[in-house]
């Protein structure tokens, strides 16, 4: 079910547009003391929140049990969840609330202690007592919330709850069906009170759990609210908003992360969004054993993109994709300079360039840009998809990590088909081709073993 037209909240007049509303808000601001105005902005969530951030309207004939906010990054999902928990706890001293995140660190750092978390939503005398060692929040009226990790679904066997807030459910690790087990175990704990309620907030990804909940929403069993990063542009820092739009707006990744869409996987693709998300690296990068820059030169001198990808072999034996430095609509001199600059910037020990299209020209152009460039020319004896298949297998085995978000590159990877062909953006998967050459050089080229000759 989607949100029905709701009865206007007590503060809906604060949000209504138009010159008359602007004048009334200005008059209110003049009448209030500074501390009163600050309190209104900080505490009166029902007045300032957008409709999609407020609980679905009550419907006695068809009451909601699960509410899903599926929206882009920066939409205000965490604030909505924290304010809902605060409202539940203040209204019901018997409330027993589960706070469930991908892991306990995220529950603490985002859902409880974060800038938009429960403690930030309940300042001053309204704040609960937080006991990190006990994984517990206790309000003055007796309401209690406990912290749980979705990575430990057995923690959700035994307790009982009246309410639950589950954050970033699409990020929950489903190895050995952990995410599904955590969700199912939670449902079995929801047996206190007259109407147990679960709020799930997430940026969408096409995971098994998300598919299950979205199917229930389509069947009218889940109240669904959607939204985009754009909806919260007045609150987000202008520079952040502009950078996100510029970098991701035209990509499928942007449709997922900014517009909150469930981006469909291309059936038969070598890479999927779920696989790439699973290979996303967070934290410190290990020391590099090798760094290569791979180049997929354009076939013409007038317009095609030149794929340029940086990858490294880490001391831990895994490969890390570090940068996509592809240049669009570049002349041979322009893309050759970009390759040389990238090699210097990343201290690459080798540049790998495909030489099927004009091998001598490719080498001469790159040498002209930097005569000392450590260059290796490679020749494709198989088609793009055949070359990509063993590299995709490295991803499946967890041996490749993406040290960042590479929207355009990942869109191309998700367009390479197992049966041959390409169904991604653009005429050619130039970025994906460069990545395949880089990872093949690091992970698939067999090194010659030393031999001892007997005389």
In a domain, 261, yes or no: no
What is the model's pLDDT at position 10?
46
Q: How far apart are CA 259 and CA 263, in angstroms?
A: 10
| More confident of the two residues 300 and 176 | 176
Distance of CA 280 to the CA centre of its chain: 9
Same domain, yes or no: 135 and 282: no
Number of folded domains in the chain? 2
In a domain, 40, yes or no: yes
3-state secondary structure of 422: strand
Number of other CB atoms surrounding residue 118 within 10 Å: 26
3-state secondary structure of 38: helix
In a domain, 256, yes or no: no
Q: How far apart are CA 322 and CA 231, in angstroms?
A: 32
CATH number for 70 = 3.40.50.300
Q: What is the mean pLDDT of the chain?
A: 83
Q: How many C-alpha atoms does 168 have within 13 Å on its Cβ side?
A: 21
DSSP secondary-structure letter at 93? Answer: T
- Count of residues making up the chain: 455
Q: What is the pLDDT of residues 8-24, one digit of tens each?
A: 444 555 655 667 766 77
What is the model's pLDDT at position 7?
41
Quote the domain boundaries for residue 227: 12-240
> Which of 33-47, 144-158, 224-238, 423-437 shows the highest mean pLDDT?
144-158
Q: How far apart are CA 260 and CA 202, in angstroms?
A: 9
**Is the distance from CB of 98 to CB of 125 less than 8 angstroms?**
no
Q: Using pLDDT thresholds of 50, 70 and 90, give the confidence band for residue 67.
A: very high
What is the model's pLDDT at position 50?
77
List Cβ neighbours of 19 (8 Å cut-off, separation of 6 or more).
none
Two tokens at 363? Answer: 């080498």
Q: What is the pLDDT of residues 414-435, one digit of tens each?
A: 888 876 778 777 778 999 999 9
Of the chain, the percentage scoring pLDDT greater than 70 comes to 78
What is the model's pLDDT at position 23?
77
What is the model's pLDDT at position 4?
45
Q: What is the pLDDT of residues 257-281, one digit of tens each?
A: 666 666 655 667 888 888 888 899 9
What is the model's pLDDT at position 9?
47
In the block, which residue shows the tokens 């890390």? 320
DSSP string, 255-304: HHHTT---PPPPTTBSS-HHHHHHTB--SPPPPEEEEEEEEE--SSSSS-
In a domain, 346, yes or no: yes
What is the model's pLDDT at position 383?
78
Beta partners for residue 148, in sequence order: 100
Two tokens at 304? Answer: 């095609």
Same domain, yes or no: 412 and 287: yes
Q: How far is CA 432 from CA 226, 268, 290, 411, in A?
A: 32, 17, 20, 9
Same domain, yes or no: 317 and 224: no
In a domain, 75, yes or no: yes
CATH number for 283 = 3.30.420.240
Q: Which long-range contacts (CB under 8 A, 24 or more apart) does 374-379 make?
A: 374/343, 374/348, 374/349, 374/350, 375/350, 375/351, 376/350, 376/351, 376/352, 376/441, 377/353, 378/352, 378/353, 378/354, 378/437, 378/441, 379/354, 379/355
Same domain, yes or no: 320 and 431: yes
DSSP secondary-structure letter at 182? Answer: H
List Cβ neighbours of 82 (8 Å cut-off, separation of 6 or more).
111, 116, 117, 118, 120, 121, 165
Same domain, yes or no: 197 and 295: no
Global pTM reads: 0.61
In a domain, 192, yes or no: yes
Same domain, yes or no: 312 and 173: no
Res. 450: pLDDT tops 70: no
What is the model's pLDDT at position 147?
98
């Amino acid at each position: 079910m989607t949100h029905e037209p709701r009865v206007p909240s007590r503060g809906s007049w604060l949000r209504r547009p138009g010159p008359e509303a602007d004048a009334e808000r200005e008059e209110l601001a003049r009448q209030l003391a500074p501390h009163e105005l600050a309190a209104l902005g900080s505490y009166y969530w029902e007045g300032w929140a957008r409709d999609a951030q407020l609980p679905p309207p009550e419907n006695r004939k068809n009451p909601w049990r699960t509410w899903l906010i599926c929206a882009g990054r920066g939409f205000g999902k965490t604030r909505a969840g924290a304010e809902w928990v605060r409202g539940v706890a203040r209204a019901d001293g018997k409330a027993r609330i589960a706070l469930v995140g991908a892991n306990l660190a995220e529950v603490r750092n985002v859902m409880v202690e974060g800038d938009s978390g429960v403690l930030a939503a309940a300042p001053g005398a309204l704040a609960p007592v937080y006991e990190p060692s006990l994984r517990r929040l206790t309000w003055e009226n007796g309401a209690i919330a406990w912290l749980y990790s979705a990575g430990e679904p057995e923690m959700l066997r035994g307790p009982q709850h009246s309410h639950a807030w589950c954050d970033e459910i699409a990020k929950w690790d489903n190895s050995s069906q952990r995410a599904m087990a955590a969700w199912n175990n939670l449902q079995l704990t929801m047996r206190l009170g007259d109407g147990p309620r679960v709020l799930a907030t997430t940026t969408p990804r096409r995971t098994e759990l998300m598919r299950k909940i979205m199917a229930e929403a389509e069947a009218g069993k889940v109240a669904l609210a959607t939204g985009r990063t754009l909806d919260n542009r007045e609150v987000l820092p202008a520079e952040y908003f502009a950078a996100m739009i510029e970098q991701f707006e035209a990509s499928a990744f942007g449709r997922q992360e900014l517009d909150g869409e469930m981006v469909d996987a291309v059936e038969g693709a070598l890479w999927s969004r779920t696989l790439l998300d699973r290979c996303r690296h967070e934290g410190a990068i290990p020391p590099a054993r090798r760094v290569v820059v791979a180049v997929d030169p354009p076939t013409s001198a007038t317009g095609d993109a030149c794929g340029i990808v940086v990858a490294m072999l880490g001391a831990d034996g895994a490969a890390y994709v570090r940068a996509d430095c592809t240049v669009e609509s570049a002349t041979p001199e322009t893309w050759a300079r970009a390759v040389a600059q990238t090699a210097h910037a990343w201290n690459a020990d080798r540049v790998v360039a495909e030489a099927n299209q004009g091998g001598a020209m490719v080498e001469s152009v790159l040498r002209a840009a930097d005569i000392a460039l450590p260059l290796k020319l490679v020749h494709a004896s198989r088609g793009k998809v055949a070359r990509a298949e063993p590299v995709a297998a490295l991803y499946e085995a967890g041996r490749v990590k993406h040290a960042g978000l590479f929207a355009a590159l990942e869109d191309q990877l998700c367009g390479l088909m197992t049966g041959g062909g390409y169904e991604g953006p653009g005429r050619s998967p130039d970025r994906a081709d460069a990545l395949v050459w880089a990872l093949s050089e690091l992970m698939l080229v067999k090194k010659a073993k030393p031999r001892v000759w007997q005389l």
